[in-house]
Structure 1
């Protein structure tokens, strides 16, 4: 035995039981223990998927922030996803990270899923293709991935305890399908098992799905890590195929696993299998002595900001463009909406990173348009609650012991403390830490009543301008998420009258105490703030006047991290605040109104027929404003197509995300997304695959040879462009057991005006198969199929027939 496997076996043979079981348990929040006796470095993991945070969750350690995964899927470009992965591997190496905890390939089962911005699509084939590109790119950079969350982690409500009841066919054809495709085509080095249960067993103990399908049928040879705090039982987890229990130091492995072996409850050979997989990972990422890394030399450097900008503009989906409203024509522009000034570039929760800079829509358009062409007005603010202190705050964290002595300090540029594990300021330990004081100044942008508050749980003292407004405990709700300190809403605690431009002292002191139910050490809380709340009608009136005087009005509307985030699902699909009212009022004043929708997943657009253009920009990453200017001015074409159906909640076929009695039945079977919309005969606002460019295309011919489809199309417009050719498969003699049609392939085509392009799409065998619940196997369904080629599920331009 040579190479990686030989090095793994040699290292394994040198370890005793204590070292083996310790290796399977996190030594802290983000890493596994080093074992010098075998030349094993500590393996470091970090959250993704749009940036690499590293082990420090702070703005002091900035990261490149790419657009959201929904944006990446909207490019319909696996090669672009691969390039994004290469960049993230570069970021990981810079931060000393070996494994990226990404990508998320759960499906958009219901539009109410609160974390859908972190997943790709409602369609398993598109999800698998984009995920494959992403994993290939990251691992080409010598960094591991953990494809997550295995499996059926499609909502956030009661995510730690819910038992999702999923039929075998739906499980195979939908929810397992992206994982299977990525295992086959990208060979990921890791997978992460979810919090939830599936048909009984929790996923960290699911022998059938992990050992039987993932490892047995698919041949996955990587390591399996639990989602953080997901592992519950020592024997059950090991027998269920879990290799690593995170985070540490208190987990169900380590000493508990060693005792289980000594007591005869598990065999040491079972532990060896898990250790073998962790050592294989270490060898692949270059952390095991005497083993050559899978990627000895990293790829050529990638310019992070440039790729972030390209990816953003390629992801923007133009869903409406009446009378050629876009690209912008010469003239004056009124830019409206609080989200145009204070951009939301990423989703809430563990996917959060801190970019070095953010280009807002206001920044991007100010730079791109002639001086004097742009005016700005707030119009409406989507943020109806306090947000973590940001603009105008200069803060520092001061740590004291029980005697009040300063034992360390550090900057806190974002008003938020998130120290995990041993990531503490120099000189500070958990044993000596008694209080943390966020202290500094706040310089208001506006005169009026400012509200301050606290995010987190425990004892707090809040003072503004020398006055103590709150001194007491802030307790979590009885049913709070264990990560409430990270994802919970800030609580208002003070109101102060302040003057624009005049600094005022602020401080928030927190008495440190480790929660008993959290198995890792963490210090997490934040100072929150909300500026003066002006009369909403006055703000809208100001925006209307600006719009009336301009040639074009651009309204930026957005969700907030209280709408789309890890930790909870959505209650509705409405835009928060008075944003809908703003759009209606502006559209009434200016017929040339363009609306930019800044959300990670679908929202209702009740005014969509009243405006000239609608551009969906997802969470566009740090360069979003610059990319927006590129697209609005016509320097670049909007390149995106919808990866998920957009429609009203009333019409949405699948809306249940809350369990009853601990169980959530997936009663819709294989009918989610566009499959369900078509089955129910409902018309969405914008169908799956839809997206407009700045040119037109004629689909001239389609030829089928075997299962290879060749499409010829012509650019009939006046400028160059890129088209996403979508191939759908529709069985003849449609029966109700199968969808009317499904995505079977796609390809990008580019051409200059008047020129033709030709693309070839190979239809995979799986496109013609269904899962047979009786025989428990894939069944190839022979017969006649119509090949339907076009621009979306609803805009099919040309057809052919294939008999298989």
Structure 2
């Protein structure tokens, strides 16, 4: 990763970037001018950028706080603390005391260490909308910005959020690769390319840890799909493992020194990752020098001896784990040596010292960075991630006149993917909200057009709810507000006065003391008249009543997935005719029972709802009528939580519901149709050449609608480039995610993503690196000095813009064994310039770009020879070339 974030940028002109937080990495930013522009957006990459003209000087951010504790001081404190611990205390420290934390050990001045899910926000220990978090755009969006400075700023904001919520370790980032487009959790990872993933991931980690908060780079390793994720054995060749799947982890360890890594559920080549001595102890710790702690994915640890000897330090969650008492017993029975336990304890104590919960030593960061405006950064990140895939006839920015907006996702935005990455922002700006605020009064007309949702969602809009907790005698023992219909209480996150009973009844035959039922109760005011559907999500005994009538009173049995209570499908239970604007009473009561197979006590269920389902043809006809009368038609299409979520993979790449029909009908009525694609990972766009413009907004976070208005109106340029190839499932070279006899073969080797598309000579809908802006660029020259490529480009359009200069390597002549891709990404840099201005970027090519993994000698081999350096706007739009011989 040589050269990454070691960028220097200079600019001259009439404006000065004031308020920029400083330079990223080892780079500097210099600007001269006569005006001040606060909040300047960064222009960064993996090289040096020089711009001349009259443009705003752009800078990069730093998130580095004041670091004072030396490694020697930390190690002395760790050894002092370790020497005072007995076996039972040591083994207790390696096991979660609940869902999210490790126990405090007051005898050594150790406070409880708290972990929380990310990566788009910091949920904290309370999984509820009652404890809101800033929600940033999806990781695919962050990667689409191709800007490590921006990723670092996002990390700094998340560190700030973590400190606000009392969190010491963020369970992020996810740096698995987009191997198959069917991967259901791809929105939570960055890219199909290991280099881009490593650059963005390292910047993110540096940002988080600069705020004194630890990270756990995950999921180590080859956790690239969700089907049978707990048990699948991924069979990965040594070369593919090194060049693709391990590569981002290696880069992040080298560039960011992460304080933690999370090992995955899956098995790799016959060994479960929580027991993988070779990959954890020999590669991660041995070869790469990783000195952080290794935590299991939740419930992934399976064997006490195997896990400890495989390099696993912490088994989460608790209190039921393979560590704790089981680990102490293994030592006493001489199945393990106490010295082996000590090594794991040292790593946990080192983490505790770094994050500031171990007495006697200063934390790694004693003064956090300057505060970050979360809303402003979320909006900036979103608009800079949007990818303009198509823009015929300069349909964007929007022209003056009437705008017809359609799509259910325009009104009820999908801002993030499903599963453990879910956070609850204090507010959400939908596309309808954003455009209403940005356009002149009366210019916007909205019609639903098509609704992608085919099932119920958690009760939210129109519901006013609270949770009432009762014991077995019916006494109220606690209450809590419920901003939506989701209850997820884990660990210490319970209403005041509420305790969870043991699983077994008392010997007297009386029910155990503590929580017996939770009732979600309140009112629902419909926004439309018709037959509304109500339902449940979760397992256990439920009673559902609407408007005084009980519609469901039965038990929902589990299907064997221990996380079904959290990620399972909602079930319809009642259909009730209601009138818009007339409130009705609703209640859902669950009899508490410990979810089977979940090793921690939790209360998890949801009241769900779906509005009346109107005739799809009528909805499309309404949208068409509005589009025909408008100057521009904007259609927002989206996936749903059933399409992109943790816990399952996708079956196809089609947009759900009648959304394709809506787009085609609107485009037929108005040739100036703009389609906004609200999806975290690739979907098929069969109508893409029938519309004027296609804009990819990813899962854009809480400020997505405001950012969309910024881009559609031309206040800002869409700044993103594709971090992953978009194409049809039929053409995609690598698609398999379903194991055969428990195993999934990565038989394609090093050929995934664009590498596979080019190897198979297939043309995708939109190639890796593709993205348009609102100006044009001319690539003028590329010169090579040593391993540095200097590229000169000119803004040949009529407005200021940002360009991502991409550098690919392609071997020339007869390729030596083993077979290599046609070309691969070796570096990139971004630049901003005004109309007519030129800019020069210097991209340093890392040594690893010229290396392959030798499966015979089991080492990296530098492949000498001649390479063509191909520079351009995407892997398919290469403008100029140069040659390098190494």
TM-score (structure 2 length as normaliser): 0.90
Alignment map for 1:393-408 (pairs within 5 Å): 393-408=463-478
Partner of 1:770: 852
The whole-number CA distance in structure 2 between the counterparts of 1:414 and 1:570 is 27
Partner of 1:14: 84
CA contact (8 A) 2:565 2:595 kept: no
The whole-number CA distance in structure 1 between the counterparts of 2:467 and 2:724 is 43
2:402 counterpart of 1:322: no
CA contact (8 A) 2:727 2:764 kept: yes
The whole-number CA distance in structure 1 between the counterparts of 2:493 and 2:443 is 48
2:766 counterpart of 1:666: no
Aligned pair count?
802
- Of the three residues 394, 409, 422, the one matched with 2:479 is 409
Superposed CA deviations along residues 538-575 of structure 1, whole A, max 9, x for unmatched, are: 00000000000000000000000010000000000000
Over aligned residue pairs, what C-alpha RMSD do you find? 0.7
The whole-number CA distance in structure 1 between the counterparts of 2:460 and 2:724 is 33
- Of the three residues 789, 792, 798, the one matched with 1:718 is 798
Structure 1 unpaired stretches of 5+: none
Q: Offset at 1:94?
A: 0.2
The whole-number CA distance in structure 1 between the counterparts of 2:824 and 2:223 is 23
The whole-number CA distance in structure 2 between the counterparts of 1:595 and 1:227 is 38
Partner of 2:681: 601
C-alpha change, 1:705 and 1:301, in structure 2 (3 Å) is same
2:652 counterpart of 1:577: no
Q: Offset at 1:476?
A: 2.6
Partner of 1:55: 125
Partner of 1:436: 518
Secondary structure class of the residue paired with 1:44: strand
Superposed CA deviations along residues 710-766 of structure 1, whole A, max 9, x for unmatched, are: 000000001111100000000012547110000000000111110100101000000
The whole-number CA distance in structure 2 between the counterparts of 1:734 and 1:212 is 35
Q: Offset at 1:488?
A: 1.1
Partner of 1:33: 103
Partner of 1:344: 414
Partner of 1:305: 375
CA contact (8 A) 1:318 1:638 kept: yes
Secondary structure class of the residue paired with 1:181: helix
CA contact (8 A) 2:534 2:607 kept: yes
Partner of 1:521: 601
- Of the three residues 309, 329, 335, the one matched with 1:259 is 329
2:601 counterpart of 1:537: no
2:269 counterpart of 1:199: yes
C-alpha change, 1:734 and 1:695, in structure 2 (3 Å) is farther
CA contact (8 A) 1:52 1:100 kept: yes
The whole-number CA distance in structure 2 between the counterparts of 1:515 and 1:607 is 45
Secondary structure class of the residue paired with 2:709: helix
Structure 2 unpaired stretches of 5+: 1-70, 502-513
Superposed CA deviations along residues 206-243 of structure 1, whole A, max 9, x for unmatched, are: 00000010000000000000000000000000000000
Partner of 2:585: 505
Superposed CA deviations along residues 482-509 of structure 1, whole A, max 9, x for unmatched, are: 2111111100010100000000111111
The whole-number CA distance in structure 1 between the counterparts of 2:703 and 2:265 is 33
2:163 counterpart of 1:93: yes
Q: Offset at 1:481?
A: 2.7
- Of the three residues 258, 278, 286, the one matched with 1:216 is 286
- Large movers: runs of 4+ above 4 Å: none
The whole-number CA distance in structure 1 between the counterparts of 2:437 and 2:837 is 34
The whole-number CA distance in structure 1 between the counterparts of 2:680 and 2:470 is 40
The whole-number CA distance in structure 1 between the counterparts of 2:247 and 2:812 is 24
Q: Offset at 1:517?
A: 1.8
Partner of 2:67: none
Q: Offset at 1:412?
A: 1.1
CA contact (8 A) 1:540 1:582 kept: yes
Secondary structure class of the residue paired with 1:281: helix
Partner of 2:38: none
Partner of 1:126: 196
Secondary structure class of the residue paired with 1:296: coil
Partner of 1:69: 139
- Of the three residues 444, 459, 474, the one matched with 1:389 is 459
The whole-number CA distance in structure 2 between the counterparts of 1:790 and 1:49 is 31
Q: Offset at 1:610?
A: 0.1
The whole-number CA distance in structure 2 between the counterparts of 1:414 and 1:81 is 31
Superposed CA deviations along residues 371-413 of structure 1, whole A, max 9, x for unmatched, are: 0110000000010111110100011111111111111111111
The whole-number CA distance in structure 2 between the counterparts of 1:212 and 1:624 is 43
Q: Offset at 1:2?
A: 3.8
The whole-number CA distance in structure 1 between the counterparts of 2:399 and 2:582 is 41
- Of the three residues 864, 868, 872, the one matched with 1:786 is 868
The whole-number CA distance in structure 2 between the counterparts of 1:731 and 1:515 is 55
